[in-house]
Amino acid sequence: MSSLDRFIRLVRYLKPYRLRLGAAFVCSGLVAAFSGAYAWLVKPVLDEIFINKNESLLLALPLALFAVSVLKSAFSYGQNYLMNFVGNQVITDIRQELFGKMIRLPVKYHDANTSGRLVSRVVNDVTLMANAIAGMLKDVFQQGLTFLAMLGVIFYQNWRLGSLSVIVIPLAVMTMMRMGKRLRALATSGQERMGDMASTLQETLAGIRMVKAYGREEAEAERFKESNKAFLNTTMKAIQVSSLGSSHMEVIGVVGVAAIIWYGGSLVIHGDMTPGAFFSFLTAMFMAYAPIRRLSGSNNTIQQALAAAERVFGVIDLETEPEGGRAVMPPIRQSVTYQDVTFLYEGQAIPALTDIDLVIQAGEMVAIVGSSGSGKTTLANLLPRFYDPTAGRVLIDGVDIQSFTLASLRAQIGIVSQDVVLFDDTVLNNIAFGKPHATEAEIVQAAKLAYAHEFVERLPQGYQTMVGEKGVKLSGGERQRLAIARAILRDPPLLILDEATSALDTESERVVQLALSNLMEHRTTLVIAHRLSTIQRADRIVVLDRGAIVEIGTHDELLIRGGHYKRLHALQFQDVPNE
């Protein structure tokens, strides 16, 4: 996408606010007109009052200057307020659109991009765009009109002198274009460095307990220092280019002024131009060069914004998750079937799953076990379509899940994982996350079934207690029980338990297991577990090894068989026989 395309795309966001924008443009035009009036009034003030000593205009002309000043200030206020209103509304719209797109992108996109870099897109890149839109609306249009008004005064006073003064404009434009191209490249690099810095910051703060536990404060500070310094270097290069551009503009302006003074002075000396007309011309010229310098400064901001827009629109233009089919998925009645499923992660050479054939009957509890990296979580992630199979199909009641809408499919599934996701909100809202319109009585009932009600009642504000970022104010067992209460309230017919008790102590695990028993009742459940003691009551146990199913059976059947499951069991319970 070219710079012009990005600029046009930015302008399209202004369409909903065209009435306010039109009013702002009218104000801008009047501000430019009154600025021109300032320059024009210099001639009668100088010629009539100071040279011709016309007493009749001694009061009228100062009053005229005062009136012009008041009117210009009033319209300048209107222009400034309206332009900023429109600019900030546009940026709010873009930021909302960007965030809405991010949360609808596939999981694989989030796997490949750190949260710090994504936050940098929403905060820093859009802020740069905000500066540019404000500059584009205020400076480009306002300063452009002011320049035209001054140009009118210049040619009105003396067209030959005016022709000489505009010779420097092409030089100024060429300088702006050359500097702009370099600034845009540096802005892109700087925003990438900002993303790296934000990523380092987010990772360190998210893992602050681990950083302190391992005494890695200095190492993390050094890592941040490197990204911070890289950002500084890029910023200073941009400042260097910008400063050179300003210096060039200054030199070009001085050359123009020197030529005007030489030629204009000769006209005054020979009587071809009055001193008032010349100083009116000179005032208009100085006031015309001011917009050019402002536009040069705005150009720097606009180049940064166009680079930011490339990154922002690059995300907005990505394809969202496939919406799936049009069918609305009914509650499961018969089975979940993995039919010859193979899955390969992007960029990986070896499939995570290979030729998986598995049927889970409705109401059945099936446990998935295997060593780390065997494909357990990947198998579960295919069910809510966080990923789609590379080959094969996943069926529910004999229908490919890709024919269902994503919303109706995921509405049938509840997930409780080892890494509990809680938001910095109240206990009540965290439980109601999957069912926002639930009544308080329903939420409390779900908490009771999850064995969470008792500890919630002991919290300072009960269900209105803020749990902190990621539920930091709660213990691991308490967080897990809130996650179970959330799943109970959602009341899904399909349930995925991803190592839901692996991080808990024995006492917490016992309570959570009771809560899970209430949750799993009358549901089709897929359990992923490292602790084999937690899945001995499963209707069937599926053993994975290197992405393939190697055994299926009950706990007792698999122990008698003496295969992979028995070896895993022996390792956990330390009863490996001596050979």
Is residue 245 pLDDT above 80, yes or no? no
Is residue 269 pLDDT above 60, yes or no? yes
Are 104 and 247 members of one domain? yes
Partners of 528 in beta bridges: 368, 498
Are 310 and 335 members of one domain? no
Partners of 541 in beta bridges: 367, 553
Q: Which amino acid is at 415?
A: I
Which 3-state string (H, E, C) describes 505-535? CHHHHHHHHHHHHHHHCCCEEEEECCCHHHH
Are 92 and 140 members of one domain? yes
> Would 355 be classed as within a structural domain?
yes
Domain's final residue, options 266, 289, 316: 316
Residues 298, 302: Cα–Cα separation, whole Å: 6
Query: Taking the CB of residue 428, how many other CB atoms lie within 10 A of it?
Result: 18
Which 3-state string (H, E, C) describes 189-218? HHHHHHHHHHHHHHHHHHCHHHHHHCCCHH
| Secondary structure (3-state) at 454 | helix
Are 14 and 122 members of one domain? yes
> Would 88 be classed as within a structural domain?
yes
DSSP state of 126: H
Domain's final residue, options 316, 336, 357: 316
pTM over 0.85: no
Are 385 and 286 members of one domain? no
Q: What are phi and psi of 223, to 5 degrees?
A: -65, -40
Domain span holding position 335: 322-412+496-503+526-579
> Would 486 be classed as within a structural domain?
no
> Would 305 be classed as within a structural domain?
yes
Total domains in the fold of the chain: 2
Residue pLDDT, tens place only, 170-197: 666 666 666 666 766 776 677 678 777 8
Are 305 and 329 members of one domain? no
Place of tokens 């306002």: 142
Are 276 and 395 members of one domain? no
Average the pLDDT over 418-425 and give the result.
83
Are 255 and 385 members of one domain? no
Query: Taking the CB of residue 560, how many other CB atoms lie within 10 A of it?
Result: 11
> Would 51 be classed as within a structural domain?
yes
Is residue 8 pLDDT above 90, yes or no? no
Task: For residue 401, name the pLDDT band (cuts at 50, 70, 90).
Answer: very high
| Secondary structure (3-state) at 273 | coil
> Would 33 be classed as within a structural domain?
yes
Task: For residue 277, name the pLDDT band (cuts at 50, 70, 90).
Answer: confident
Are 395 and 272 members of one domain? no
Domain's final residue, options 273, 296, 316: 316
> Would 459 be classed as within a structural domain?
no
Residues 391, 259: Cα–Cα separation, whole Å: 76
Helices (H) and strands (E) in the chain, counts: 21, 10
Are 63 and 152 members of one domain? yes
CATH of the domain at 58: 1.20.1560.10
| Secondary structure (3-state) at 540 | strand
Q: Are 391 and 340 in contact (CB under 8 A)?
A: yes
pLDDT for the residue 87? 82
Cβ burial, residue 50 (10 Å; 0-12/13-18/19+): exposed
Are 268 and 401 members of one domain? no
Average the pLDDT over 32-41 and give the result.
80
Place of tokens 């490996």: 576
pLDDT for the residue 579? 39
Each as own residue / partner, the long-range contacts of residues 59-64 (CB below 8 Å, 24 or more positions apart, any chain) are none
- Residues 6 or more apart whose CB falls under 8 angstroms from that of 128 comprise 187, 191, 301, 304, 305, 307, 308
> Would 229 be classed as within a structural domain?
no
Are 27 and 171 members of one domain? yes
**Rg of the Cα atoms in the chain:** 35
Average the pLDDT over 55-71 and give the result.
83
Tokens of 553: 């059976």
Place of tokens 């799943």: 487
CATH of the domain at 369: 3.40.50.300
